[in-house]
Amino acid sequence: MKATILLAEDERDMREVLCDYFTAKSGGELTMISAPDGNTALHLIETQPFDLLLLDIMLPGTDGFALCRAAREQGDAPVLFVTAREDEQDKLYGYGQGADDYVVKPFSLAVLYAKAQALLRRSRGMTAAEVLRAGELELNPARGTVTADGQRIDLPPKEFALLRALMERKNRVLTRDELLDLAWGWDYDGTDRVIDGHIKKLRRALGKHADCIKTVVKRGYKLEVDRDENKT
């Protein structure tokens, strides 16, 4: 899902981490534009469209609440506050200014990313249950089902999450770290070699369809399909 996101955050390290994470996790589908202060962010809001805004509240110059109001005057792009202010009154005030969600620091990058994706889907009238297809394989995220040649394949949660990650990024090599992030979560602290065991189990469950999951030596894994199919 291609989208342009404005990040208003005065902490440089936080800006870099969020921009790098969102860009890598989306495979370059998300374009991150960052602003180190409220006045810069306000100028950007007034001069170009965004699909989503991630706003800190305590910013030099114009604060996040004022930015949220300005964004609402410009359009309907979702607004997600990312802030250290956890007081209930701040949250209620933020929602009153038109915010769609509110995340308190410190937070999980994986959770923040999931919330951002949910807001983007909602704003575009999309559901989170888009059926994924690769050859004869079909994965339905909403129902938690996988079928091949019309026959259901029962997968444990981790194998399902791995297959979903690979099917969402057909023909793209995913490192073990990326697969850990996608299937286990950003805060997993075990070894990345756990991926190999679960890929073996996944291949075993897929049977004759296992060949579509390729091992890329010294890099990771990818789900390979015909390029023509990948365009559909």
For 132-230, give the CATH class: mainly alpha
Alpha helix ranges (H) inside the chain: 12-25, 38-47, 64-74, 88-96, 109-123, 157-168, 176-183, 194-206, 227-230
pLDDT at site 126: 46
b/e burial code for range 46-76 (CB count within 10 A of at least 16 → b): eeeebbbbbbbbebebbebbbbbebbeeeee
Residue 95's alpha-carbon distances to 48, 53, 119, 168, in angstroms, are: 23, 14, 15, 33
For 3-123, give the CATH class: alpha beta
* Among the listed residues 12, 15, 7, the one whose alpha carbon sits nearest the alpha carbon of residue 38: 7
Please, which residues have CB within 8 angstroms of residue 100's CB and are 6 or more apart in sequence? 78, 79, 80, 119
- Spell out the domain ranges in the chain: 3-123, 132-230
* Cβ pair 100, 55 in contact under 8 A: no
pLDDT per position in the chain (232 positions), as tens?
689 999 999 999 999 999 999 999 888 889 999 999 999 999 999 999 999 999 999 999 999 999 999 998 888 899 999 988 878 887 888 888 888 888 888 888 988 998 898 888 878 764 445 788 988 899 987 778 899 988 899 998 889 989 998 998 889 999 988 888 777 765 455 667 789 999 999 999 999 999 999 999 989 999 998 755 544 4
Please, which residues have CB within 8 angstroms of residue 200's CB and are 6 or more apart in sequence? none
